[in-house]
């Protein structure tokens, strides 16, 4: 698969206070629509069905499509995929091809209730386009008992700086979100960027899924923006026990994380962070009482 261009150079007039500069060239992150189509057999005949259109930054499209289908509960294992390919042509010569088709293996059953969700997913918010709140029930499973990695707070404080240093396209444009997996020692395992928070997460999880590395039970997922309900859902689908966000979580994100005993961290920046659920996975030099940890443990009855 060819490497897609993810930045574009465009003219800009810079104004600072009362000074207007000459027209200069500015590097921007490319945003293009991607249609994800599903190919399968129905009564022995090949069928192609459009599942979603999302605004994304070109690149890692196969991972994005696979991650989306996996985190939405449409597919459950990599062997259910026969082939992934680009279809059609871009709007301009050498432009990104903006349709991906994921062909399912013979005999894979298609859940039509999930495919009834024909929704437009914007780059800023995926969940708001879904047709009903009931459609969000995607078969999220409880985290396995083994999914209890322990992260020291000192390690977590370092993660945003590591993430920012590895955001190559953000450094050029200032216009991309990032999602990354970290080990308990603070090593970055994998990183993806995109104009959309949920797309960056789908690309990241899609890469793990296609490599046969899901569930991801021993890592922390750090996202550069806020923690929404949908990002918690996607992390849970991949078996990720800790979700950390540079920004704030939503109330529904906290409720979902609490229900499934995930550790959810918010405002991870400037050498501080908040623990909203699952405090038992977080360590600190300042000893916190057992009662305090239970209050944000994610366990019922606190």
Mean of all residue pLDDT scores within the chain: 83
**Among 18-32, 111-125, 245-259, which stretch is predicted with the lowest mean pLDDT?**
111-125
Average pLDDT rounded to a whole number, residues 276-293: 74
Task: Pick the more confident residue, 109 or 282.
Answer: 282
Quick check: 38 pLDDT over 90? yes
From 87, 125, 128, 141, active-site residue: 125
The verdict on 169 and 288 lying in the same domain is yes
How far apart, in whole angstroms, are the C-alpha atoms of residue 125 and residue 230? 9
The verdict on 196 and 288 lying in the same domain is yes
Instruction: Give catalytic status of residue 125 as yes or no.
Output: yes
> The CATH number of the domain where 173 resides is what?
3.40.140.10
Which of 106, 136, 166 is the last residue before a domain boundary?
136
Q: What is the pLDDT of residue 9?
A: 82
Q: What pLDDT band is residue 118 in, cutting at 50, 70 and 90?
A: very low
Give the number of domains in the chain: 2
Quick check: 287 pLDDT over 80? no
Average pLDDT rounded to a whole number, residues 171-180: 74
Question: Whole domain around residue 211: which residue ranges?
Answer: 151-295
Closest to 85 (Cα-Cα) out of 30, 31, 37: 37
Tell me if the pTM is above 0.75: yes
Query: Quick check: is 302 in a domain?
Result: no
Quick check: 291 pLDDT over 70? no
Average pLDDT rounded to a whole number, residues 68-75: 92
Beta strand pairing call for 242-245 and 263-269: parallel
Helix (H, G, I), strand (E, B) or coil at 170: helix
Query: Quick check: is 244 in a domain?
Result: yes
Which of 112, 136, 160 is the last residue before a domain boundary?
136
Q: What pLDDT band is residue 213 in, cutting at 50, 70 and 90?
A: very high
How far apart, in whole angstroms, are the C-alpha atoms of residue 33 and residue 242? 30
The verdict on 225 and 100 lying in the same domain is no
The verdict on 177 and 278 lying in the same domain is yes
The verdict on 285 and 157 lying in the same domain is yes
Task: Pick the more confident residue, 6 or 177.
Answer: 177
Read off the pLDDT of residues 124-163 as tens digits, 9 standing for 90 and up: 554 444 443 444 554 676 787 667 899 999 999 999 999 9
The verdict on 126 and 165 lying in the same domain is no
Q: Long-range contacts of range 284-290, CB-CB < 8 Å, 24 or more positions apart?
A: 284/152, 284/153, 285/153, 285/154
Query: Quick check: is 111 in a domain?
Result: yes
Which of 75, 102, 136 is the last residue before a domain boundary?
136
**Among 20-34, 89-103, 272-286, which stretch is predicted with the lowest mean pLDDT?**
89-103
Query: Quick check: is 141 in a domain?
Result: no
Beta strand pairing call for 151-152 and 282-283: parallel
Query: Quick check: is 83 in a domain?
Result: yes
The verdict on 157 and 262 lying in the same domain is yes
The verdict on 157 and 56 lying in the same domain is no
């Amino acid at each position: 698969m060819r490497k897609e261009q993810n930045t574009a150079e465009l003219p800009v007039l810079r104004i600072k206070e009362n000074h207007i500069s000459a027209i200069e060239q500015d590097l921007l992150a490319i945003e293009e629509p991607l249609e994800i189509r599903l190919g399968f057999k129905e009564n022995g005949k090949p069928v192609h069905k459009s599942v979603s259109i999302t605004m994304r930054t070109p690149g890692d499209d196969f991972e994005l499509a696979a991650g989306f289908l996996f985190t939405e509960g449409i597919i459950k294992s990599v062997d259910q995929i026969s082939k992934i390919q680009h279809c059609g042509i871009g709007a301009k010569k050498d432009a990104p091809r903006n349709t991906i088709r994921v062909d399912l293996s013979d005999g894979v059953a298609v859940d039509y209730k999930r495919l009834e969700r024909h929704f437009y997913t914007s780059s800023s918010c995926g969940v708001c386009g879904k047709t009903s709140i009931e459609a969000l029930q995607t078969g999220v499973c409880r985290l396995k008992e083994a999914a209890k990695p322990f992260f020291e707070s000192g390690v977590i404080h370092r993660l945003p700086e590591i993430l920012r240093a590895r955001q190559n396209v953000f450094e050029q444009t200032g216009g991309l979100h990032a999602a990354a997996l970290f080990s308990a020692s603070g090593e970055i395992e994998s990183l993806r960027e995109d104009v959309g928070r949920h797309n960056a997460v789908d690309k990241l999880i899609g890469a793990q899924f296609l490599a046969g590395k899901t569930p991801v039970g021993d890592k922390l997922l750090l996202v550069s923006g806020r923690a929404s309900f949908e990002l918690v859902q996607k992390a849970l689908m991949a078996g990720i026990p800790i979700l950390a966000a540079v920004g704030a979580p939503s109330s529904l994100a906290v409720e979902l994380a609490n229900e499934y005993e995930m550790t959810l961290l918010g405002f991870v920046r400037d050498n501080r962070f908040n623990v909203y659920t699952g405090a038992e996975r977080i360590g600190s030099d300042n000893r916190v009482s057992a009662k305090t940890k239970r209050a944000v443990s994610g366990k019922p009855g606190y």
